[in-house]
């Protein structure tokens, strides 16, 4: 029984011998699952290599960066405290890791796009290309707000609020962890608008539902402000 009798559409074969389905994504070909996994491994390896290179390059400058951060947020009057032999080195490595992650984010999204581009329709590719720079800019905006607004308030007013009643002994590694957590947290929070847009684009959430919850949130904030 041929394909016309069964109603099935036979796949065509391209020059490389791989099946290409006319009803699927233009230019997409059927490949084994292991081929996709190997490609994903290679692209993640590129990002990992770039990450290691960023750590190695930034490590000689990490001590100066630590001093600048300490002077900016803590002040010259507070002495750094290290409670283990490796704490200073680990704090420098953590700072280098944050720097390497920041410069690796564009490469990560680029490799992710290259991996998924073959299975995307043209309109989906255009949407993905718009989302990548927007995501990076929103992440940098969130970290900038955390750096210039939140961290100064936290260290200068909240941390030292006790004044003369208690003396703060700040660990270098814990301080760096607090700084990096706040910066990364604000960067991730600023990704939420993109997640909402993506959910609406994929039909997971209705646009009217988003407007309804936005209106309810604004009313709640107004009630709290007036109350």
- Cβ pair 98, 67 in contact under 8 A: no
pLDDT digits 0-9 by tens, 32-83:
889 889 999 999 999 999 999 999 999 999 999 988 888 888 877 778 888 8
Positive or negative: CA dihedral 146, 151, 152, 153:
positive
* Count of positions (residues) in the chain: 227
What are the extents of the domains in the chain? 31-162+169-190, 194-227
Helix (H) or strand (E) holding 149: none
pLDDT digits 0-9 by tens, 149-190:
999 888 877 666 755 666 677 888 888 888 888 988 898 888
Tell me the CB-side half-sphere exposure of residue 99, using CA atoms within 13 A: 20
- Cβ pair 133, 113 in contact under 8 A: no
Q: Residue 46 CA to chain centroid, in angstroms?
A: 17
* Token code pair at residue 99: 């720097």
**Mean pLDDT score, 213-220:** 51
What is the per-residue pLDDT for 148?
Answer: 92
Rounded to 5 degrees, φ, ψ at 132 are: -60, -55
- Cβ pair 141, 91 in contact under 8 A: no
Of 82, 70, 62, the C-alpha closest to 171 is 82
- Answer whether residue 115 shows pLDDT above 80: yes
Helix (H) or strand (E) holding 20: strand 19-20
Strand partners, 13: 19
Positive or negative: CA dihedral 9, 13, 14, 17:
positive
Tell me the CB-side half-sphere exposure of residue 93, using CA atoms within 13 A: 6
**pTM, 2 dp:** 0.69
- Calculate what percentage of the chain has a pLDDT beyond 70: 71
């Amino acid at each position: 029984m041929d394909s016309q009798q069964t109603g099935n559409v036979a796949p065509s074969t391209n020059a490389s011998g791989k099946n290409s389905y006319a009803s699927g994504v233009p230019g997409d070909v059927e490949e084994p699952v292991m081929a996709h996994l190997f490609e994903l491994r290679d692209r993640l390896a590129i990002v990992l290599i770039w990450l290691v290179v960023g750590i190695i390059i930034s490590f000689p400058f990490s001590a100066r960066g630590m001093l600048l951060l300490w002077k900016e947020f803590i002040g010259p009057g507070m002495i750094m405290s290290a409670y283990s032999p490796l704490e200073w080195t680990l704090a420098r490595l953590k700072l280098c890791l944050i720097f390497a992650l920041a410069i690796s984010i564009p490469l990560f999204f680029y490799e992710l796009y290259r991996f998924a581009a073959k299975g995307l329709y043209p309109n989906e590719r255009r949407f993905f290309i718009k989302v990548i720079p927007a995501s990076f800019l929103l992440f940098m905006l969130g970290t900038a707000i955390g750096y210039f607004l939140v961290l100064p308030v936290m260290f200068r007013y909240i941390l030292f609020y006790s004044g003369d009643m208690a003396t703060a002994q700040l660990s270098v590694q814990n301080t760096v962890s607090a700084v990096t957590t706040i910066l990364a947290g604000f960067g991730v929070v600023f990704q939420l608008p993109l997640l909402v847009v993506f959910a609406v684009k994929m039909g997971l959430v209705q646009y009217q539902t988003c407007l309804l919850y936005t209106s309810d949130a604004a009313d709640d904030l107004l009630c709290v402000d007036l109350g």
